[in-house]
Chains A and B, each alone.
Chain A
Amino acid sequence: MTLQSQIKAVLALIWFDGVLPIRRSPFNVVNFVVSPLTILFFIYLFAGPDKARFAISGGLTAVIVGSCIILETEAAFIRLVVRLQDMFVSSPLSPISYVLGLSIALLLNGLAGIVLFSVLLAVSGGVSPIGALDIALACIMTWASVSSLGFVLSSFARDMRDLWVYAPLFTVLLSFLPPIFYPITLIPEQFRFVAYLAPTTYPAQIIQMAAKLIPFSASSFLFDFAGGAIYVLILVLFAAKQARWRQR
């Protein structure tokens, strides 16, 4: 298949597994915004409008994590339950196009939330054009690393019940425990390395810097960019290696 055909295949999968289900079951979209909005509500209530901007920036990351980590259950469902993945494996479609199509399709579930939190971030304190680019970069990093992780997890599952527990667990581990909704400086220095174990910490720091929630410094930006990029690389390569396109 040519590159052009693979791109069309990706777009077809996005339409099939993203656009069509959202059009027919739009309530799913609300599902991904509820938790971050609830956190925003409570932070606003108890900590005031200043700290609420952390909740807005965290909400942006949380929406992406929530809509990408479900690739774990969606890919496993298509492989194990409806078994359509086998039809695609035995076709000229490349595994990369397949994963890309599914991961973007699922991201569409979070699109309303991404727009909502981006607008809130912009209107609540202002984001420069360069800051907006940084935020977009951070969002792409989060999408790539979490989607890859989701697909890797799905490839190990032999039964859907193996997975039901992981999506909520990883949502907490990737979007609520790390410094996503709060500055990393609140964590005692000797324990900060734990926060850096989460791939979402790096892009979240970039968003916080771009939104002027924490001071910007070139070294911090480079550190967070490098950390996020390394995680993306590791997880994408791991997904490509472990993804069970053809079983042994």
Chain B
Amino acid sequence: MTSLSPPANKLWWNEPIEKTELLWISLVFVWGLVMTFMMPFWHITGDQNLSTETYRTTPEAFLAKAQKMVDKYTVRKDGPRQTPVVKPPAGSDVYLVARLWDWWPSLELQKGQSYRFHLSSMDWQHGFSLQPANINIQVLPDYEHVVQFTPNKTGEYSVICNEYCGIGHHLMIGKIYVVD
């Protein structure tokens, strides 16, 4: 009698379970509870919990809000594409536009301060990937995702795209500078 043939004992449900199996099942069940517990526990005690605050929007509406921020807080232009570098006040709303194929605008943030980031796409799906902090968030068109970031180290950060978005996907890169 093997796993290839019907069970020899037709009332197999009534067979006792082996001790090894019982031991393992108990251990694994408890481990499952521990892992289940970890996620809400981190929501309470951890500093990295992605907000799910989301609104429906349109590319036009979102771009208008981003443009307003850029007009108000641009401090300089940056790089070969002359991207505006925006220095928004600590605690304010920051709009980051994802589009084929750049992240717009560049940002200058203060270490230890919190910012309400609004993420949305003008066209296809993109992947906000902040390096080297390694924070990765899906960015979708027609949805405005509000996430709070608190940079904990100074330096130059890159926002690369890690959702495939067509032939220029690997050219899509933006910058965030964190200063004291």
Q: Do A and B bind each other?
A: no
By a beta-carbon cutoff of 8 Å, the part of chain A in contact with chain B is none
